[in-house]
Structure 1
Amino acid sequence: MDHASSASEHDDQLAAHPAVFRTLLSLTKPGIILGNLISVTGGFFLAAQATVSPVRFLATLLGVALVIASGCVFNNVIDRDIDARMRRTRDRALVQGLISVPMALVYATLLGTTGVLLLYLLANPLAAFFAILGIVVYVGLYTLWFKRHSVHGTLIGSLSGAMPPVIGYCAAADRFDLGAAILLVIFSLWQMPHSYAIAIFRLEDYKAASIPVLPVEKGIEAAKRAIVRYIVAFAAATVLLSLTGHAGHGYLVVAGGTSLYWLHLALSGYRRDDDEAWARRQFAFSIVMVMVLSLMMVVDFGLSFADDQLADASYRALALLRTSG
C-alpha cells in the first residue's frame, strides 16, 4: 500500500469518529436529558434547606443524566420496530442500521451502571435506588409491555418520568419524606397532559405504530377531557408543596398562576376546530410549566438562604450589643 492510500484511509477513519460520536449521542436523546436535569435541579434545591454540597449536586446531575441516557438507549433498541413505522422516528440510528444492537446494549449498560455508581458513591444509596427504580419502570414495565399493550401505558411511564426530581430531592435530603412524595405526584400528573398532547398532534404516527394511547383508543375528545382533569389534579398538587411548608409563598403564587393559565389553555380546546394546533400549544406550555416549577424551587432556596443569612446576622448583632452593654 502506498503512502497516498494509507493517508486516505487514515483520513476516512478520522472523519468517521465524529459520525460515530453523533450516532451514540443521538441514541441518548440529549433534549430529554436536558429537560429532566432542570427538574433534578429543582428537586435538589427544594430539599437543600440553604445548604448545598457542590460535589453532591454535580454528581447528582451527572448520575441522573447517565441513567436517563441509558434508558433512552434501551428504548431505542426495544422500539426499533415501532420506530420504523413512525415518520418522526424512522431515521433513528438503530432503524437505519448505523449501530448494531449488541453495541447499543453494551453502551446502555455502561451508561446506566456508571450513573447509578456515581449516585451511590457521591450522593447517597437512596438516590441510586430511585434511579434504578426509574429505569426498571421505564424499560421493564413501560417500554417492554405497557406502551405496546395498554392504554394505561402513559400512566406507567409517568412514574418513571417523575423520578428525576425525586432523585434530586433524595440526593440533597438523604431521605424520602412528604416533600419527595408530593414531588412524585406533581411530576407524574404533569406527564399525563404533556404526553396526551403529544399523542394528539402525533396521532397518525401512533396509529401507524399501533400504540394504544388514549387518543387512538378512545378518541381526541376523551383525551381532551383527560387533559383537563389531570391539569386540575396537577394544580392542586403543586399547592401542597407550600401548604406543607416545603415551598414558600413566591413559589405558591407563581406555580398557582401558571397552573391556572395551563388549565385555561386546556379548556380553550373545546372551542377550537384545529386539534393539532391546540395540542402543540398544550405541549409547548407544559414545557414552560415544568421549567417555571423547577425555577421557583431554586428561587425559594435562594430566598431561604437569604433569610437564614439575615437571621444569622441579626443574631450576631444582638449578641454584640449585649456584650458591649
Structure 2
Amino acid sequence: MYRPYLKLLKPGIVAGNLFSVTGGYFLGSVGSIQWTKGMLVSMSVALTISSACAANNIFDRDIDALMARTRDRPLVRSEIPVTVAKAIVLILGISGISMLYAATEQYLPVALILLGYLAYVGFYTSLLKRKSIHGTLVGSLSGAMPPVVGYCSSSGQFDAAAVTLLLMFALWQMPHSYAIAIFRAADYRAASIPVYPAVKGWPAAKRQMAGYVAAFTATIPILTLLGYASAIYLVPSLAIGLYWLNLCFQGFHTTNDVQWARKIFLSSIAVVVVLNMAMILTGLNK
C-alpha cells in the first residue's frame, strides 16, 4: 500500500542528496558539530527534495508513460490520484522549508533551498527539459544545492567554500546526466526529450563530458588551498577525480559506447560518495 507513495518521492535521489547535505554540513562545522541541528537540517532537505521529486512526477507523467524506465511510476499507473500527489508536494515542501528555518534560524539556507527547488521544478522540469538541450545545465544548479545548504546551515555564511561546492557539484552533475542520456538513449528518443547527447551526437557529448570532468577535478583542491579542508579530504577526492577523468578519456577509444557510459555513471556515484565521505571526515577532524 505504501510502495506507490515511496516511489513517488524517488527515494534513491533523496538518499543521495541526504548524503551530500551531510557532507556539506560537516565541512562547515569547523570542528564543532551540532548533531541535533545537523539531523534537522538533513531531514528538512530530504523533505524538500521529496516534494520536488513528487512535483517532477506530476509534470512528467505523460512522457514517463513513453519510457521503459519510468512507465511503472505510480502516477503513470494511476496508483495515486494527481490531487493527492499535489497535496503531498505542498505538505512536504512547506514542512521541509519550515523545519530548515526552525533548525538554523537563518534565511540564507532557506533562500538557497528555494532557489534549488525553483531551478528544478520551475525551470528544468516544467520549461526546459522538453525544449532545450541546455535543460541539464539548469538542472545541475538544483542538484548542486544540497551540499551548499548543508555548509551554509552550519557555517552561517555564503563564502568561497560555498561557491566552490556549488561549482564542484554542478560540474559533477553534467557528465553524470549525459552518461544516463547515452545508455538510456532509446527512452529519451521515445519521449522526444532533447538532451545534448541525443541532439549533438555522442562524439560531441564525450568531448563535453571530458571537459566537465576535467573542470570538476580541477576544483577539488580549491577547498584545501583556501584552508577549508585538509589532506584527509584532498587525497581521496583528487584520486577518485583523476580516476574518473581517465575513464572519461577512454570513451574516445571505446568500441562499446553504452557499456562505457554505464561505467561513467557508476563511477560518478563512487566519486560523489568518496567526496562526501572526505568532507565528513574533514569536519570530524578539524
TM-score, with length taken from structure 1: 0.86
Q: Any idea what the Cα deviations from partners look like across 1:215-247, whole Å, max 9, x if unmatched?
A: 110011111111100000001111111111111
1:284 and 2:238 correspond = no
Equivalence for 1:28: 9
Given residue 84 of structure 1, which amino acid in structure 2 is its aligned partner?
A
Q: Percent identity?
A: 48
Equivalence for 1:50: 31
Aligned mates of 1:218, 1:105 — CA distance in 2 = 36
1:226 and 2:227 correspond = no
Given residue 272 of structure 1, which amino acid in structure 2 is its aligned partner?
T
Say whether the 8 Å CA contact 1:159–1:184 is kept in structure 2. Answer: yes
Alignment partner of 1:241 out of 217, 223, 231:
223
Given residue 267 of structure 1, which amino acid in structure 2 is its aligned partner?
F
Equivalence for 2:278: 296
Q: Any idea what the Cα deviations from partners look like across 1:98-125, whole Å, max 9, x if unmatched?
A: 1111110111110010000000111232
Aligned mates of 2:233, 2:95 — CA distance in 1 = 34
Q: What stretches of structure 2 of length at least 5 have no aligned partner?
A: none
Given residue 34 of structure 1, which amino acid in structure 2 is its aligned partner?
A
| 1:66-81 mapped onto 2 (5 Å cutoff) | 66-81=47-62
Aligned mates of 2:283, 2:29 — CA distance in 1 = 7
Q: Which structure is larger by alpha-carbon Rg, 1 or 2?
A: 1
Question: How far 1:250 sits from its partner (Å)?
Answer: 2.4
Q: Which structure has the highest helix share of the two? A: 1
Aligned mates of 1:94, 1:301 — CA distance in 2 = 41
1:260 and 2:245 correspond = no
Aligned mates of 1:85, 1:47 — CA distance in 2 = 43
Q: What stretches of structure 1 of length at least 5 have no aligned partner?
A: 1-18, 305-325
Q: Any idea what the Cα deviations from partners look like across 1:59-90, whole Å, max 9, x if unmatched?
A: 11100000000000000000001101101101
SS in 2 for 1:95: coil
Question: How far 1:126 sits from its partner (Å)?
Answer: 1.5
Equivalence for 1:99: 80
TM-score, with length taken from structure 2: 0.98
Runs of 4+ in 1 over 4 A off after TM superposition: none
1:212 and 2:200 correspond = no
Aligned mates of 1:53, 1:192 — CA distance in 2 = 33
Question: How far 1:39 sits from its partner (Å)?
Answer: 0.8
SS in 1 for 2:262: helix
- Choose between structure 1 and 2 for higher RCO, CA contacts under 8 A separated by at least 6 residues: 2
SS in 1 for 2:164: helix
What RMSD in Å do the two structures reach over aligned CA positions? 0.8
